[in-house]
């Protein structure tokens, strides 16, 4: 954590690609929960970021972001994270990473993660202890070092990244729950909080 609990200047990467295979190919970032798209929910959660990079196809949004895409496309979340990191300035220190399928994430959650950064970073966990590596705050230097150690990120699991970093965990409850299946979507659209 920064001196006196002051949050460091930070940047954000929002992972908003993928094929939504378990959702029948639906565009997850465009899905609506509580009257707004999941991408808008993620972007609202990172409004305090100095720079926000969205990794995925361009969509209509209400704020300025940098857009990028992993090459080759559809390389998975680790490949998207690497592409997002390449799109940030070299002076990035702390990087908040969010998936665009987290219906309960908000600015307070992200701020808490950024302020709690320890070692190489801090990863959100839900109440059962399941880690959500796409809701985390990482030190940019640590991410770059780990990605260099992994080599080609295309098709690699996020677990490889986690195994290479010294990370704290933080229980953020339902903010770490994502939407992967039609059942998940139905529960959130029916008002689960």
pLDDT tens-digit map of 90-122:
999 999 999 999 999 999 999 999 999 989 999
Q: Please tell me the pTM assigned to this model.
A: 0.92
Report residues of the chain scoring pLDDT below 50: 1-4, 193
- Compute the C-alpha angle 184/186/189, nearest 5°: 110
Q: What is the DSSP letter of 30?
A: G
pLDDT of residue 134: 96
Q: With CA atoms as reference, report the closest residue to 21 among 182, 136, 191, 133.
A: 182
Helical packing angle, 107-115 and 38-45, nearest 10°: 40
Distance of alpha carbon 112 from alpha carbon 101, whole angstroms: 19
pLDDT of residue 28: 86
β-strands 121-125, 32-33 pairing: unpaired
pLDDT of residue 84: 97
pLDDT of residue 24: 64
134 contacts 97 by C-beta, under 8 angstroms: yes
Distance of alpha carbon 31 from alpha carbon 37, whole angstroms: 5
pLDDT of residue 179: 86
């Amino acid at each position: 954590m920064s001196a006196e609990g002051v949050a460091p200047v930070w940047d954000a990467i929002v992972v908003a690609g993928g094929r939504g295979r378990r959702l029948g190919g639906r565009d997850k970032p465009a899905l609506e929960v509580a009257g707004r798209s999941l991408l808008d929910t993620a972007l609202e959660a990172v409004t305090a970021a100095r720079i926000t990079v969205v990794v995925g196809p361009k969509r209509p949004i209400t704020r300025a972001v940098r857009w990028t895409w992993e090459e080759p496309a559809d390389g998975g979340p680790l490949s998207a994270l690497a592409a997002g990191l390449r799109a940030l300035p070299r002076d990035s220190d702390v990087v908040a990473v969010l998936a665009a399928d987290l219906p309960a994430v908000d600015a307070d959650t992200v701020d808490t993660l950024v302020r709690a950064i320890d070692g190489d970073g801090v990863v959100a966990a839900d109440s059962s202890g399941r880690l959500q590596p796409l809701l985390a705050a990482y030190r940019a230097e640590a991410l770059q070092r780990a990605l260099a150690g992994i080599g080609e990120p295309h098709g690699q699991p996020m677990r490889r990244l986690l195994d290479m970093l010294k990370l704290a965990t933080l229980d953020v409850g339902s903010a770490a729950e994502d939407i992967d299946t039609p059942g998940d979507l139905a529960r959130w659209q029916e008002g689960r909080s």
